[in-house]
Amino acid sequence: MTLPDASPNPSDADRTFQVDLRGLVDLLSHHLYSSPRVYLRELMQNAVDALTARHRLEPDAPADAFGIRLHANGSVVRVEDDGVGLTEADVHTFLATIGRSSKRAAGAAADEPIPGWGKIAEQRGDFIGQFGIGLLSCFLVADEIHVISRSARTPDAPAVEWRGRGDGSYTVRVLPSSARPRPGTTVTLTPRADAAEWTRPTQVHALARQFGSLLRHPVTFDDGTAGPAAPVNPEPAPWARTYPTPGARSRALAAYGEDVLGFTPLDTIELDLPAVGLKGIACVLPETVPAGRRHGHRVHVKGMLLSERAEEILPEWAFFVRCVVDAENLRPTASREALYEDDTLSAVRDALAERLREWIARAAASDPDLLARFLQVHHLAVKSLAVHDDEILRMLLPWLPFETTDGHATLDEFARTHRTVLVTSSVEEFRQVAAIASAAGLGVVNGGYTYDRELVHRLPEIRPEASVADLDPATLTAHLDPVDRETELGAAAYLALARDALAVFDCDVALRAFQPASAPALLVDSREARHERTRSHLAREQEGGLWGDILGALRQEAPRAQLILNQLNPLVRTAVTIDEPELARTSAEALYGQAAMLSRRPLRPAESSLINRSFLDLLAHALRKDS
């Protein structure tokens, strides 16, 4: 059987996408760009890229031979540059095709659409904008974009005018050379009334300074008045200047950080990564930063501000600094308001982290006063770093402050006083035992704060002679003095009634003698023990069901809390002599409630109820006795 030849169907012909420009601009304004203000940055970026291409075309020209001039008088916003310019063919190829970028085309290789362009801009990394959508941002503030350009590649090239409108239409016409005597490009916008916030002369000047203060090309601003044009970037970046002494350089960098970031830095760390052309400073914050809060950093790419909130340039643990950097080879996202996450950014992040470690090491080795001020403010940040960085651990662990039974102290000081360092697993456990442990001569560190318990357990790595152990109730009670046998027997009846009254809390009662004598009782308990008791109670309540079987399979001997009464306390000595059962039970409940409150842990509803009831019962007993 022979199949007939397939004939082309006109309906199968390839077609070109139709683009709704208004819809695209709305998409960019709501989902790509953070604010209409980016229109000026995009125009300045295009101008800078044109200047970069011009310098590559004329490498012997002085660095300041070509520049950018901004003009805003309330009626128009104009950006003029002395860059490489566009021919009529360039205008049709790039300005009328969404997504087509002359910078990206420059690196396309063999068949260049524009003769000689590949040699002018062989590496697109020399350019800031590479996505071909920047000019569309102008439609965020204007309904029409007017461009006049003259190419520097062709000596006798005429000037070309392009007018693009928000409805997607455009016109192109060739103008006489007098319309643009010199090569370069002029972009003019007539702002809409609703864009006045972003196109007023003062706002345009402020945005130009914000975006372009570190640009290498001269940029000026003219507000249409009789005065001379104001320089936008009168001085190079502070790290690019020369200074008479290292001290003068350090002071200048600190002053720049204070001016840009708005705080006086505790210290300033100079950053320099030649491999990616990154220079800048990291300013150490003078105040404590909550754990996990990450400050944004001010990142420039080839002098143009990319973002003031770039968190990704540093690792999470470096939240004690804010940076201002300018890089040559970091890749921006399409919106050019963030950095693209790639291997280069990852390597830069690691390298900057190493610079911060080196600064900490230098401070530890040569400036103990600076290190002390730094640790006083940012010890939590250093602890988070020391957990994962053995070098920082060895260097700084002995210097880090911890809450101990001797007050706030460094581990180095504490380990010299206490051969065995005990550490609690929670803040509430430390508060339960701190006063008693201190009186008993035990050295206890509060391990309940973030990173502290793990770091204390690593102390023997730095001080092999030190011994570290977790504090448990048995360790503490072993250091409390037993009472004599006669006293124990005399209190037996009271202790039995107290145990019965507190059985509902799975709490045992014991009588010991310990300092300080002002403490009537010590409640020894732990969060894990309370959780286990809760699970055991739940298993009993659910006994017989599937959930009860599961909990029953996990059942262990539930650890009990322990109320330790202090025989040295006058109140306890009086309480154990009570022979009236109800009053004895009430006094035991009151002692338990007081000890629970002194532990500073959250009270369970039953404990709150017990405290109120025992107080009322004691008050009622006192009133009956008086009557």
pLDDT in tens, 315-346: 888 889 999 999 998 888 776 777 888 999 99
Counted residue by residue, the chain has a size of 627
Count the Cβ atoms, other than its own, within 10 Å of residue 596. Answer: 25
Do the beta carbons of residue 585 and residue 497 sit within 8 Å?
yes
Which one, of 247, 309, 313, 248, lies nearest residue 280 by Cα?
A: 313
Do the beta carbons of residue 92 and residue 170 sit within 8 Å?
no
Alpha-helix runs per DSSP H in 245-367? 246-261, 343-366
Residues 6+ apart with CB under 8 A from 17: none
pLDDT digit string (tens) for 364-379? Answer: 888 989 998 998 898 8
Q: Which residue has the tokens 């039974």?
A: 405
Summarize the confidence of residues 108-127 as an average pLDDT: 36
Q: What is the pTM of this model?
A: 0.69
pLDDT digit string (tens) for 169-198? Answer: 889 999 987 888 899 999 999 999 999 999
Laid out side by side, the sheet with 268-273 consists of 268-273, 278-284, 321-327, 297-301, 304-310
Report pLDDT for 124.
39
Residue 508, strand partner residues:
562
Report pLDDT for 121.
32
- Of the CA atoms within 13 Å of residue 147, those in its CB half-sphere come to 31
Report pLDDT for 1.
42
481, containing H or E segment:
strand 481-482
Averaged pLDDT score across all residues of the chain: 82
Count the Cβ atoms, other than its own, within 10 Å of residue 111. Answer: 6
Q: What is the rounded distance in angstroms from the CA atom of residue 269 to the CA atom of residue 536?
A: 56
E-strand spans in 493-576? Answer: 507-513, 521-524, 561-566
Q: Flag whether pLDDT at 44 surpasses 80.
A: yes
Fill in the amino acid letter for 574: T
Higher-scoring residue by pLDDT: 395, 453? 453
Residue 281, strand partner residues:
270, 324
Task: Label residue 3 by pLDDT band (50, 70, 90).
Answer: very low
The token pair that represents 490 in the structure block:
């005399």
Prior bond of 516 cis (ω within 30°): yes
